[in-house]
Amino acid sequence: MDLFVYGTLMDPVFVQQLTGKAFVTEPARLPDFRRIQTPGSYPYILPHDGDSVDGMLLRDVDESTLQALDRYEDEGNLYFRTKVVALVDGVPRHCDVYVGNASAVGQLEIA
């Protein structure tokens, strides 16, 4: 499974520290979403027609890594892992992404 990332998970060193694994990455764009980051908080995305978010596609993310990333993103509370279609060099690619729960993540301050 491929995962579109747009914030802290774009740092390959951080991803390797978090998961113990390195991934092949590709620059990608996610159409019809907007990236939001208020001062002192973590970035998140929300659906928004006509906008797009630049990020990276982590290729071939295995299930154990996905579980670690779900814990890191507090999936189901701060973020919701959602199936989307990102563009890599204009070519549609099915993947997952962590979409923010605006009422929760927007209030979370970086320590």
Residue 111 lies in a domain: no
CATH number of the domain enclosing 83 = 3.10.490.10
Residue 65 lies in a domain: yes
Number of domains in the chain: 1
Residue 62 lies in a domain: yes
Residue 101 lies in a domain: yes
The three-point CA angle 68-79-102 to 5° equals 160
User: Which pLDDT does position 106 carry in this prediction?
Assistant: 54
Q: What is the CA radius of gyration of the chain?
A: 13
Please give the Cα distance from 65 to 69 (Å, whole number).
6
**pLDDT tens over the chain, length 111 residues:** 999 999 999 999 999 999 999 999 999 999 999 999 877 777 899 999 999 999 999 999 999 999 999 999 999 999 999 999 999 999 999 999 999 987 776 555 444
The two structure tokens encoding residue 51: 């906008």
